[in-house]
Amino acid sequence: MLSNYKELEQYIVEDFEEFLDEGLSLSQVTEKLLVEYHRGIVNSKVEKLVIYLTIALLCLDKGYLREDLKNNLNIMISDISLLPLKEELESEDIKKIMFDIGKFNEQIGDN
C-alpha cells in the first residue's frame, strides 16, 4: 500500500536529480530509477503507476521519454479504472495523480 504519493514522488525527484548530477544520460537515469523502485513496481499496481508517471514527467521536462516507459504508462492509464486507487490512496493523492495524468497526456500530445 502506498502511504503518500507526494512523499514517493519527492524521493523519485531527488534520485532523478542525483543520478543526473552523476553524469548519467536520461535513458540511464530512467533504467536506474526503475531498478531502484522495483519493489514498489512489483508489489502494487498503484505504486507502479505513481513511479512510472513521476519518471515520465521528469523525463518529458527534459525533452526525452523512453518508448517502453511511455507504452507501459499508456496501458496503465487506459486501465486506470481497474486500479485500487481508493483503497490505496487518500482523495487528495488521487486528485494529484489525475492531474499528473492530464499533464502527461498533454505533453506526449505535443511530442
Report the distance separating Cα 41 and Cα 33, nearest Å.
11
> What is the pTM assigned to this prediction?
0.92
Per-residue pLDDT reduced to its tens digit, 16-47: 999 999 999 999 999 999 999 999 999 999 99
Where would I find the H helices in 1-111?
A: 5-21, 26-36, 38-43, 45-61, 67-78, 85-88, 91-110
Look at residue 88 in the predicted model and tell me its pLDDT. Answer: 85
Report the distance separating Cα 16 and Cα 60, nearest Å.
13
